[in-house]
Amino acid sequence: MLTTAIFPGRYVQGEGALAALGEEVARFGSRAFAVMDPFAMDTLRPRIEAGLGEAIALTAERFGGECSDEEIARLAEAASAADVIVGIGGGKALDTAKAVAHGLRRPVAIVPTIASTDAPCSALSVIYTPEGAFKRYLVLPHNPAVVLVDTGVIARAPVRFLVAGMGDALSTWFEAEDCRVKRGANMTGRLGPMTAYALARLCYDTLLQYGVLAKAACAQQVVTPALEHVVEANTLLSGLGFESGGLAAAHAIHNGLTVLDETHDYWHGEKVAIGTLALLMLADRPPALIDEVFGFCERVGLPTTLAAIGLGGVDDAALMRVAERACAEGETIWNTPHEVSPRRVVAALRAVDAEGTRRAKATPRAAE
């Protein structure tokens, strides 16, 4: 039996890490092409240029907003002369940079400005339509050569991004555990090693221990050990855990939720959190564990009802569209070690909504 784990070439994290960008990028060449989201382009470009130094010639292009085939083709044409691609910004900008680098056969350095997803470390780009609906996974032959995370930048981003990242990371252990039990494949197409499952569990434990403290630090725009721990969980541990441990129902249900336009204003991790709660219902997890996860979501401000992701009053026909997309052939929901069907997914989503609503009425959330 073969097991396989995959990792980024280097992971650099800490306050002020942008100053080391030139040192990291120079190992791959002197001509860098940067895909920068609007925040990075408008706010961080002077610091990026200073971090790269005079030895690196930088060309930068503003990211158009969706990691679509059309956007990847546009940027690849502009980047054809570069030695190395640098992605700077949020998850979709980073996935686009990875796809551009893949098409051009160049190394890629990834610089997340928010800790909202586990996209930075992975050999994966999630491709959407130009309108924002999930289209497919693009599995890449290599992980990023460098992932550089400046926690000083992360701390100054809106708190909602960090919380959404916790929602994405929250799924990691549950999905990896389902893959371990079902002997489902990870993103390499093989089983994961025990290292991957242990890292996935560490991701979950870190969130529960430090999530509330990290959110408080981010609200004050300061870097603390708790914030460092959660940024690492959101970015590195979740990235390694999902990629080498495997995905299951939570991300498949997220992909299903994207077919409803009402969810497009909500972040990836917010929808994954609903998918994780649905996974717990679908996979018949112990009630004490379900209570623990609902409680964590409530404490950090993750959604626990359908209304919290724009689906208040949603009818069963719309939820069936979600469920049918989640249960599409080849989707990761089939790594669930329990009976799966669109009808059961709808039931799980309704159960999540009912429990989240009941808890909210019993103990109203404190104002954010």
For the segment 253-282, the average pLDDT, to the nearest whole number, is 96
Name beta bridge partners: 149: 13
Provide the 3-class DSSP secondary structure of residue 193: coil
For the segment 9-33, the average pLDDT, to the nearest whole number, is 96
| Residues 138-148: tens digit of each pLDDT | 999 999 999 99
Phi, psi angle pair for 89, to nearest 5°: 145, -145
For the segment 88-111, the average pLDDT, to the nearest whole number, is 96
Give the integer Cα–Cα distance in Å for 209 and 232.
13
What is the signed CA dihedral for 194, 199, 204, 210, rounded to 10 degrees? 150
For the segment 321-348, the average pLDDT, to the nearest whole number, is 97
Q: State which amino acid sits at residue 85.
A: I
**How many angstroms separate the Cα of 144 from the Cα of each of 28, 320, 359?**
12, 37, 41
Q: Could you write out the DSSP letters of every residue in 332-348?
A: GGGG-SS---HHHHHHH
- Residue 299: other Cβ atoms inside 10 A: 14
Q: Is the pLDDT of residue 366 over 70?
A: no
Task: Return the minimum-mean-pLDDT range out of 7-16, 135-144, 220-229.
Answer: 135-144
Q: Is the pLDDT of residue 117 over 90?
A: no
Q: Is the pLDDT of residue 191 over 80?
A: yes
Name beta bridge partners: 78: none
Which pLDDT band holds residue 119 (cuts at 50, 70, 90)? confident
For the segment 352-364, the average pLDDT, to the nearest whole number, is 92
Residues 6+ away with beta carbon under 8 Å from 235: 13, 112, 115, 118, 120, 121, 147, 149, 165
Give the integer Cα–Cα distance in Å for 165 and 272.
10
Q: Considering the chain, what is the average pLDDT of its residues?
A: 95
Q: Any idea which residues carry the catalytic annotation?
A: 168, 251, 254, 268
- Could you give the maximum distance between any two Cα atoms of the chain, in Å? 60
Q: Which strands, in side-by-side order, build the sheet including 146-150? A: 11-14, 146-150, 108-112, 84-89, 31-36, 57-62
Which pLDDT band holds residue 368 (cuts at 50, 70, 90)? very low
Which pLDDT band holds residue 367 (cuts at 50, 70, 90)? very low
Name beta bridge partners: 159: none
pLDDT of residue 365: 58
For the segment 243-248, the average pLDDT, to the nearest whole number, is 96
